[in-house]
Structure 1
Amino acid sequence: MINRRHIRVKVMQSVYAMLQSHNDDIIREEKFLKHSILKMFDLYVLNLQMMVEVQKLAAKKMALSKKKILATKEDLKPNTKFVNNKVINAIAESVSVESYIALNNLDNWQENDEYVKIIFDELQKSDLYKNYLNTEEDSFKVDKAFVIDFFKEIIAPNEKLAEYYEDKMISWVDDIPFVNTWVVKSLSKYKEVAIFVLGKLYKDKDDEDFVSTLFRKTVLKHKEYEKDITDKTPNWETDRIADIDLILIKMAVTEFVNFPSIPTRVTINEYIEVSKDYSTEKSSYFINGVLDKISKEFIEDKRIVKIGRGLL
């Protein structure tokens, strides 16, 4: 599921796009933001389905090999460890996966089966695959460990697959690392006796509402917050401050004022961490300094009111 930090990243990108384009259609932009987050689930399912399609391809090749005129002993009696992998079979038989694919027309691997072949070829050449087939132990534990490594070592780092995803949807460029982690967590949590069920997109309704409120309030109040920032940066003209830094500070101020259950220090730390990935090398120090000054003034002026003990 999407976490609060990645929600902040998605909101940051939408706020940046809206301000840069000077577009004032906040309803349309919010719909695009939510659509972008929803499409992350497609990426999550496509990664899981890739393993199923690779397994299907392996089974198909085995069936064809048995029909050879000069079939070898290996062709006639192949190692079926991979095609019988318990975890991949569970994904293949999952009603939630099948339903999501059907409902959202995710026929990507039927229309673009060359990527399935690329992953299968790479898997076959790997020591991971050879060692797995040669493992005598036939257990859920071994199957699960292999599937996790298959995804982490073969699928996730594949550049051609990443390029395909980026071409399909530009917002996936920043989503890929997060979704890859999400897939690994889902596989790691899967238990042998359980039916494989897709994870949730949002943890709860609060997280879903967090998207809309953070985006709307930041956009609607950004001019007002810009004055607060200017007051705390007398030696800086606003046009000398990196655009992303300004947006991150405005988003943090939005959290200070509108989310009474989020501790001020948590908000500051979150935006410092986001800045390390999306802004300049020194941005984290600048953002920390400005937010520290603003938070202290807002607390003194009662503009920040937190609910609960120790939330400031």
Structure 2
Amino acid sequence: MINRRHIRIKTMQSVYALIQSNSDNLNKEEKFLTLSIDKMHELYALILSLLVEIQGLASNHIEISRKKHLASSDEKNPNTKFVDNQIINFLKESDSLNQYLEDKKLTNWKLDDEFVKLIWKLIQKSDTYKDYMKTKTSTFADDKKFLLNIYKEIIAPNDKLADYFEDQNISWVDDIPFVNTWIVRTINEIKSTKPFVLGKLYKDVDDEKFVLNLFRKVVLNHEKYDEDINEKTPNWDSERIADIDMILIKMAICEFLHFPSIPTRVSMNEYIEIAKDYSSQKSSFFINGVLDKILKEYTEAKRIKKIGRGLL
């Protein structure tokens, strides 16, 4: 499921797009924001279905080989360990995953099956696959370990697959690392005693509401925050401050003032870390310094009202 950091990143991108376009169409950008998050869930389901399609391709090859007129002994009695992988079978038999794929019309691997073939060939050539196939039986734990290894070693880092996802949806560029982590966590959590249920997009209703609440409050108040920021950066022309840095500072200010359940330290740390990925190392120090000054002023002026102990 999506975490608060990725929600903040998605919100940052939408705030940036709205400000850069000089648009006042808040509803349009809100729809784009929620759609881009929904699309991340689609990417998650699409990658899970890729595992099923790869297994299906392997199964088809076995059946074709068996039906050869002059099939060899190995072809007549193949090692079916991969096509019997219990983890992939759990995905294949999942009602929630199959229904989601159907509802969203995610037929990518039927239309673009060359990527299924590409990954399957890479898996077959790997030492991980060869070691796995040395025996004809395995435990649930063995099947899980194997699937995690081929995902981490072959599927997640594949550049051609990443390029394909980028072509399908531009917002997936930033989502791929997060979704890869989500997939690994999902595989790890599959249990032999329970059917697989597709992971939820949001942890709870609060997280779902947080997306639009944060976006709206930042956009509607960002000009008000300029004065406070300018006071704490007297040696800086506002135009010299990177746009992303300004947005991150304003988002943190917004959380200080309008989100009483989020500790100020959490807000500061989150935006400093985001700056390291989306701006620069120097930006993270700059943002930390500005927010620290603003937080002290707000605290002294009693502008910050947090619910619960230790939230300041």
Give the TM-score of the pair, scaled to structure 2: 0.99
Q: Report the number of matched residues.
A: 312
Q: Deviations over 1:179-200 (max 9, x none)?
A: 0000000110111111000111
| 1:30 corresponds to | 30
| 1:232 corresponds to | 232
Which range moves more in the overlay, 263-272 or 133-142?
133-142
Which range moves more in the overlay, 43-52 or 301-310?
301-310
What is the rounded CA distance, in whole Å, between the counterparts of 2:132 and 2:193 in structure 1? 22
Q: Deviations over 1:246-295 (max 9, x none)?
A: 00000000000111111111110000000000002200100000000111
What is the rounded CA distance, in whole Å, between the counterparts of 2:304 and 2:149 in structure 1? 46
| 1:47 corresponds to | 47
Alpha-carbon distance, 1:48 to partner: 0.5
| 1:63 corresponds to | 63
Give matches, 1:120-269, under 5 Å: 120-135=120-135, 138-269=138-269
3-state SS, counterpart of residue 281 of structure 2: coil
3-state SS, counterpart of residue 191 of structure 2: coil
| 2:7 corresponds to | 7
Kindly report structure 1 stretches of 4+ aligned residues shifted beyond 6 Å: none
1:298 aligns with 2:271: no
3-state SS, counterpart of residue 162 of structure 2: helix
3-state SS, counterpart of residue 75 of structure 1: helix
Gaps of 5+ in 2: none
3-state SS, counterpart of residue 236 of structure 2: coil
What is the rounded CA distance, in whole Å, between the counterparts of 1:52 and 1:293 in structure 2? 53
Q: Deviations over 1:216-255 (max 9, x none)?
A: 0101111111111001100001000011000000000000
What is the rounded CA distance, in whole Å, between the counterparts of 1:290 and 1:198 in structure 2? 42
**Aligned residue type for 1:25:** N
Give matches, 1:80-119, under 5 Å: 80-119=80-119
**Aligned residue type for 2:94:** S
**Aligned residue type for 2:6:** H
Alpha-carbon distance, 1:154 to partner: 1.3
Which range moves more in the overlay, 68-77 or 33-42?
68-77
Q: Deviations over 1:57-78 (max 9, x none)?
A: 0000000011112211111111
Q: Is the 8 A contact 2:81 2:136 kept in 1?
A: no
**Aligned residue type for 1:120:** W
Q: Is the 8 A contact 2:262 2:311 kept in 1?
A: yes
| 2:270 corresponds to | 270
What is the rounded CA distance, in whole Å, between the counterparts of 2:13 and 2:277 in structure 1? 13
Gaps of 5+ in 1: none
**Aligned residue type for 2:79:** N
| 2:72 corresponds to | 72
Alpha-carbon distance, 1:136 to partner: 5.8
Which range moves more in the overlay, 86-95 or 131-140?
131-140
Q: Is the 8 A contact 2:80 2:136 kept in 1?
A: no
3-state SS, counterpart of residue 282 of structure 1: helix
Alpha-carbon distance, 1:137 to partner: 5.1
What is the rounded CA distance, in whole Å, between the counterparts of 2:226 and 2:8 in structure 1? 19
Q: Is the 8 A contact 2:9 2:274 kept in 1?
A: yes
